[in-house]
């Protein structure tokens, strides 16, 4: 499985370290990698995010799939990542759609690179030949580190930084990079993913708020994919 909406044009890597947030995208990817027979190690991250509740759902996925899972504690860096509503209490969490300019407030600078760096380091340590994360096309307008150009550049950096210590076929997998959220939901339905065991809401309350960008996008994705949405939202 290589990067692209279908990922069906190449053999799957043997051993993969997956960045597993507990959200819909990375959870569907975890099920897909497992279905393709990958030896899967999952890493989740506490970076002081407002929605740390997502980690509970990462635990659920890891337990159901039976793979190795660790939560990496990076909470101390939250104070260094000021300016994002996900890590800075002084910044209000915006409501609306991801296409809205207000969603820029949810950007955590260099977040994917930070997490992927840890995942790559672990991959090198355990002899894995790939790392994977669930970036998708809906992220492109807002998040610079969810774009194809980032993945290509990051993979090249990894090869240089770890030359002589990783397989020549080491890859950074982002198979949903050109896929819509609704396509990911459809893929999850095909795989039998228990969507109730995923968390999207950036507010991290008892239920999905139904108003923040990730909730709006989640709702829309289930509707467009014509898949029943099991999520309980505070706002109907």
pTM (whole model) above 0.85: yes
Q: Residue 140 — pLDDT band, cuts 50, 70, 90?
A: confident
State mean pLDDT over 215-232. Answer: 97
Tokens 């600078």 — which residue?
109
pLDDT reported for residue 3:
61
Distance (Å, rounded) from C-alpha 220 to C-alpha 183? 11
- Mean pLDDT of all residues belonging to the chain: 91
Q: How far is CA 176 from CA 7, 179, 184, 224, in A?
A: 8, 5, 7, 17
Q: Residue 24 — pLDDT band, cuts 50, 70, 90?
A: very high
Q: How far is CA 230 from CA 22, 77, 192, 196, 210, in A?
A: 16, 34, 13, 6, 13
User: How many Å is the Cα radius of gyration of the chain?
Assistant: 17
* Two tokens, residue 234: 């505070």
State mean pLDDT over 79-100. Answer: 86
Distance (Å, rounded) from C-alpha 21 to C-alpha 234? 22
State mean pLDDT over 138-148. Answer: 86
- DSSP, collapsed to helix, strand or coil, labels residue 71 as strand
pLDDT reported for residue 138:
83
Q: Residue 63 — pLDDT band, cuts 50, 70, 90?
A: very high
pLDDT reported for residue 4:
47
State mean pLDDT over 31-36. Answer: 96
Q: Residue 6 — pLDDT band, cuts 50, 70, 90?
A: very low
């Amino acid at each position: 499985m290589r990067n692209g909406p279908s990922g069906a044009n190449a053999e799957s890597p043997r051993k993969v370290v997956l960045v597993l947030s507990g959200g819909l995208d990375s959870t569907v990817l975890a099920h897909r990698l497992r279905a393709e027979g990958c030896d899967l190690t999952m890493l989740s991250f506490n970076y002081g995010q407002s929605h740390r509740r997502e980690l509970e759902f990462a635990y659920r996925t890891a337990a159901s799939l039976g793979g190795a899972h660790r939560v990496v504690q990076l909470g101390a860096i939250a104070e260094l990542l000021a300016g994002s509503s996900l890590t800075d209490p002084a910044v209000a969490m915006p409501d609306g759609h991801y296409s809205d300019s207000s969603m820029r407030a949810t950007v955590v600078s260099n977040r994917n690179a930070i997490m992927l760096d840890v995942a790559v380091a672990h991959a090198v340590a355990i002899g894995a030949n790939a790392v994977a994360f669930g970036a998708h096309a809906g992220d492109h307008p807002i998040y610079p580190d969810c774009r194809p150009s980032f993945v290509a550049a990051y993979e090249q950096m990894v090869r240089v930084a770890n030359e002589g210590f990783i397989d020549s076929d080491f890859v950074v997998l982002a198979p949903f990079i050109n896929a819509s959220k609704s396509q990911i939901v459809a893929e999850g339905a095909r795989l039998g993913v228990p969507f109730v065991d995923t968390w999207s809401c950036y507010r991290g309350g008892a239920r999905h708020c139904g108003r923040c960008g990730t909730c709006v996008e989640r709702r829309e994705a289930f509707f467009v994919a014509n898949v029943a949405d099991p999520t309980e939202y505070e706002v109907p």
